[in-house]
Structure 1
Amino acid sequence: MATDQPDPHRPGSPEAGLPSATHPGPPPGGPARRARNDSDGGSAPQPTVGRPAYDRFAIAALASGVLCLVPPLGLILGVIALVGIRRTGRRDRGPALAGMALSATGTLLMVLFFTTTGGEALRERLLKGLGQGSGQTSVTAGLEPRDCFDEPGAPKDPADLATYVVADIDEASCEDPHDGEVYGRFDLPAGAFPGDGEVVAVVDKWCTERTSSYSPDAWKLFGRARFNFYPPSEEDWARGERGAVCAFAPAEYGDRLTGSLRQDGDALDRHQRAYLDAAGQLNAALARVPLVDVEETLVHHQEWGSDVAGYLGLFAQDLRDHKWEGEAAPLAAELAEEADGVRGEWEKLAMLEDVDEFCDQWAVAEQTVADDVAGTVAALRTQLKLSTRRPVTTEYQYPPSPLLF
């Protein structure tokens, strides 16, 4: 006979010990909470719904978003979590959405960091730290003005310099024979690597302008040494190392230096200093001749000719502005007039568009200095008790000796 009593052994029945579709069983780990049943006036077991565990992908997405370890990973984990939550009906969308939001923000910041100039300084410090951590560093790292060094890997034949890459530099005593002496060091501006050509141009200009501050009298320097420089490579730049080094090298390739080339500016009187300061700027402008043939970069040679003309004018003005004494006064006035006179020959270089015409005028400008100015330069140097022994320059040096002031 049928009965209304539930079968305690039928699966799905509350009395069977298994949860039914309408009455879930107690949460794992403890008995059901007891509550008062007002309908029958007594107390009866009242099952409660246990809180389900959070989706593991949702938790992973939230953790990834908070920690920002790999920003895009949080987005991926969040999407996986949402798909799983929708299928199972769980209620832990919050952690997944929060993780996705944080990861999206982190991803956006990461993109901005690597694509805008705003993050350059931080990015540079990061790359520099990575370079230091890997043990890599520029070969000139640690070299400072007054340091002397050897370059053991330098080629014996100067013809091999075109393909030579500096791989090793060893510090050396300036009193012993050595390959070079540092007279300047500076860091190029932060930013993206501008290219080897631009880096060389900036370093070349900076180094030539500072030869006279380290060794004021070019007549004591030229013939004995020439200036050289070590710009940062693209690999150095990627590590955050933008330092460039200026150094003196032996005038004759393959020779070695002995003793320091630094000259003590404090030993000069005010007239000597005034002349050497003015002449140093002009000599530096002459030395900035472009390193490539005129046929390749005529425009750069035109700019250089205009630059030299400008410094000839400044040299003449500096001579007039200083209060010379004794026999030096008329000599300085005469030299100022001569410098103004030859300036026009250098100004013509900036206006010549034909390579052959430029080279012909270049020779005229040089010869004019040698013929019209060199004698007065030597006479004024004699009066100021500066070096009067005109240096013998080599084929690797510019300006040649007759152009030195």
Structure 2
Amino acid sequence: MRPIPFLTALLVAALLFLAVFKRDDLLAFAQGTAATEAPSPAAPQPAEPIPAETRPAIRVVVLRSIARTIDSAVVLRGETRAARQVEVKAETTGAVISEPRRKGNFVAAGDLLCKLDPGTRAANLAEARAALTEARAHVPEAEAKLAEAQAVLAEAQINHTAAKQLSEGGYTAQTTLLARAAAVRAAEAAIASAEAGLEASQAGIEAAQAAVAAAEREIALLTITAPFDGLLESDAAELGSLMQAGSLCAEVIQLDPIKVVGYVPETEVTRVALGAQAQADLATGETVTGQVTFLSRSADPTTRTFEVEITVPNPDLAIRDGQTASIAIAAQGALAHKLPQSALTLNNEGQLGVRVVEPGDIVGFRPVRVLRDEADGLWVGGLPDAADVIVVGQDFVTAGVTVLPTYREITR
């Protein structure tokens, strides 16, 4: 093995080690100065914390707000709903023989919607009525048989009594007495048979009456009419179409009055009362008023809300079924402050509120609840009667910080 390449490799490795790990010492050696004698740079000293009392106070703008009593409305989202809506269906089978009414037309209660072909139903009714007449004719005959049997029984009882008295005096034979007793039992059996015949005749009458009523009902079902005043939401069944029991004839809706339906959170349900005045702003821009006519006693199991219905007059049928509405239901008045929307903020726990200036110009946080939303601000509750609310700079301070407030005019 040649020593020169090996020594060369060791020399190169030593130079690389010095260049990488002992660079400062190598530079100092090259300059003729020992690395250990070079003055070390002064280590940076940590900055002294500025005492809180000497920090400059943050400037904020404060609104001096005075609480006022407002009509605190319960605001909901909802939709309009027809007062009544029904699918009128056939209850029997038959072909439609009437001209169809077209959707959008007004119908009054009792107006014809569909007329079905009677077929042989008239003949069935005549047959049922004939059977009823025949059943009624059997009643007098049954009654006559019963009367005859009763007369025979009376005669047999008289003969039996006379034979019994003669037998006791020894003037008639014992066989005669037995014959009279047998005659009485035969007359009693005849009466039972006559009564059964009369009951069968009466049962036949009732069966015939039921058959007549069924035939008349079947004929009545051929005429399908509107159940109430309203509008046709669909075309009536077409002429010639075959209707089965359950087939749709037409759909009728009633829009006057109309209902506005919303859902009240369980935290607000106690503020809604039956008969309360309510206002609904429709998506079309129209505003309508009405009264609360229904408030559910059972909460929806999924949303934990309670259904509320507001009845609104709709004489011109301008309000349609299914329109989106913003509902405001009048409730008992409450003290509230009107603040700009930008004044609201969140604390570290995510609670909605405002930051206020407390005595000593110290910042505090007060949770609030929004009572009403208007174009120029929010009405909020949860603050004292008078409050200094920070409206500019509230996001740059926290509770306990000292601020330098600039006050706005008092809210009027």
Shorter chain as denominator, the TM-score bin is: under 0.3
TM score, norm. by length of structure 2: 0.21
TM score, norm. by length of structure 1: 0.22
Structure showing the higher strand proportion among its residues: 2
Compare relative contact order (CA 8 Å, sep 6+) and give the higher one, 1 or 2.
2
Structure showing the higher helix proportion among its residues: 1
